[in-house]
A = this chain, B = another copy of it.
């Protein structure tokens, strides 16, 4: 969709980093005026809604420097160069949680901050979870605490902001709807 398209008339690269780049584009608006857009480039990420056989949601707590606090999130990871997102998701699931899945189903892809970043997260449902023999395999510089919680517990974590990011908030609502559909005689949502 290109409604209200903004044409780039100049692009200045400000920073090329390990994970993100920053550029400032000058754009031509539909009314002929000029404006500036500060834009972050990010390789994209995957995230996993992983429910155990006991209908518990697998979550990870980690420190987020941008927020200067630790938060509790669904397992996720950056897409490495050339990787297919579904492959990244399977790899992250195994490395970060020590579970494998029979298959992954894409729930939704979405931009996290369309106002200033091109980051897109692909959220997958992990189907047929099994504990791997190796368990979680973290880099030596990766600090993550695994947990498995009920949907009620996850909702409590949203209420008191221990869960505090968009993809995980989406995942908790999605998992709740899924379990309600499966475990009731109500019409499908």
Q: Which of B3, B20, B143 contacts A61 (CB 8 A)?
A: B3
Structural contact, A73 and B15, CB atoms closer than 8 A:
no
Q: Within the assembled complex, what's the spacing in Å between the Cα atoms of A179 and B22?
A: 41
Measured between beta carbons, the chain B residues less than 8 angstroms from A1 are: 61, 69-71, 162
Q: Say yes or no: is A149 at the interface (Cβ < 8 Å to chain B).
A: no
Q: Say yes or no: is A153 at the interface (Cβ < 8 Å to chain B).
A: no
Range class of the A interface residue count? 35 or more
A binding-site residues for B, Cβ under 8 Å: 1-6, 14-15, 17-20, 22, 24-25, 27, 29-31, 33, 35-40, 42, 45, 61-67, 69-71, 73, 78, 108-121, 140-141, 143-145, 158, 161-170, 173-174, 176-177, 180, 186, 189
Structural contact, A70 and B20, CB atoms closer than 8 A:
no
Q: Do A111 and B165 contact each other (CB < 8 Å), given the known contacts A116-B19, A173-B174, A177-B173? A: yes
Q: Which of B14, B39, B40 contacts A116 (CB 8 A)?
A: B40
Q: Which of B25, B30, B33, B63 contacts A4 (CB 8 A)?
A: B63
